[in-house]
């Protein structure tokens, strides 16, 4: 008897799903679940040559949240991402005893993602 009721209920829903105003599925995906937005950071030495294995540190001015990354063979890291949060972020790098002056990046957020301004930073190590 219970199975008969379930079958009748299911059959009653079929026309609802097949009409123009029926059930819809968003097959385009959720744009809020896309990859994280990142900040491209390049580190160069005093002569402008790229620096591999430099440590890049980004610190949120208000929250103190920090993200650290290491530059690749092109002197670039994209480890700093929107997880740092909205607001002002100071970015600097070190390689051995050499350091860069900090650069400030402003992250602004919408309902899905945060974006840095500027989107690329070039840091130069002090001689």
Percent of the chain past pLDDT 90, that is, above it, reads: 71
Question: How many DSSP H helices and E strands does the chain contain?
Answer: 1, 9
Phi-psi group of 96: left, alpha or beta (phi > 0 → left; psi -120 to 50 → alpha; rest → beta): left
Residue 105 pLDDT: 98
Candidate from 8-12, 18-22, 31-35, 51-55 with smallest mean pLDDT: 18-22
Q: Which residues of 43-59 are buried (b: 16+ CB within 10 A; e: fewer)?
A: bbbeeeebbeebbbbbb
Residue 29 pLDDT: 62
Q: Does position 75 have pLDDT exceeding 70, yes or no?
A: yes
Residue 127 pLDDT: 85
More confident residue, 65 or 35: 65
Considering the domain 36-124, what is its CATH architecture?
Answer: Sandwich (2.60)
């Amino acid at each position: 008897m219970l199975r008969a009721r379930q079958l009748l209920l299911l059959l009653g829903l079929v026309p609802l799903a097949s009409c123009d105003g029926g059930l819809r599925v968003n097959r385009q995906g959720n744009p809020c679940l896309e990859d994280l937005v990142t900040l491209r950071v390049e580190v160069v030495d005093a002569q402008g040559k790229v620096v591999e294995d430099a440590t890049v540190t980004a610190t949120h001015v208000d929250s103190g949240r920090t993200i650290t990354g290491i530059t690749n063979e092109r002197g670039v890291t994209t480890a700093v991402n929107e997880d740092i949060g909205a607001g002002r972020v100071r970015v600097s790098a070190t390689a051995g005893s050499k350091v860069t002056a900090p650069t400030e990046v402003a992250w602004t957020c919408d309902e899905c993602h945060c974006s840095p301004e500027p989107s690329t930073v070039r840091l130069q190590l002090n001689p």
